[in-house]
Amino acid sequence: MLVVALTVATLLAPPASRLFAVGAGMGEGVGAGDPVSSPVGAGASGRRAADDAVPAIARTWPVGVRPRVLRGWEPPATVYGPGHRGVDLAAPPGTPVRAVADGRVSFAGRVAGKGVVSVELAGTGDPPLRTTYEPVRASVPQGAEVRAGEVIGTVEAGGCHCTAPCVHWGLLRGDTYLDPLSLLPPWLLQRGPSRLLPVLGVPLP
């Protein structure tokens, strides 16, 4: 009887390889959805990293030469969480606002009483990167092609969430907010105010 019982138990037990596979999938802190153990997860993670990459294609700041950043980009922890989805650049009302790179005006109008201009940047993938500027009175129509440095409007008085007059500059790819300062190459980020250089023998005024 003992021999028969041992034989039945052996036949009903799951194979060792199956036990090992279950343990490897659920133990050691590695779950089924973990990118390390899931090819689908790894692919999605790679696509997210590629989508979030921002080329430094800007050729100018939106306002001024090197405006003061009143508040930087603070990505929210969740989609609807608190944060700051863009940067605030000091700019008094009437300041010209320029397209930072070549593109097409995808929106020029008013949203919740504020003037907003949005420009899809050329050659930045599908969906393309999209810059937004507010509060701005548009001087270009929706659908217009614009070049880097071209004036697209002026800063409006009021409608600003800053403690001082400013323009809010945003960057999106699809519905994902990104840091607009990452569009700026190092020579623009580090650029200071223009200075006159002395000419030989000619003193500066």
At residue 190, the pLDDT reads 80
At residue 87, the pLDDT reads 92
Q: Where does residue 132 rank: exposed (0-12), middle (13-18), buried (19+ CB within 10 A)?
A: buried
Q: Are 137 and 126 in contact (CB under 8 A)?
A: no
At residue 10, the pLDDT reads 42
At residue 85, the pLDDT reads 78
At residue 84, the pLDDT reads 66
Cα–Cα distance measured from residue 117 to residue 147, given in angstroms and rounded to the nearest whole number: 14
Show the beta-strand stretches assigned E in 122-201.
Answer: 129-134, 136-138, 145-146, 151-155, 166-173, 176-178
User: Within the chain, which residues score under 70 in pLDDT?
Assistant: 1-52, 77-84, 159-160, 191-205
pLDDT in tens, 150-169: 999 999 987 667 778 899 99
At residue 14, the pLDDT reads 38
Name 153's bridge partners. Answer: 97, 138
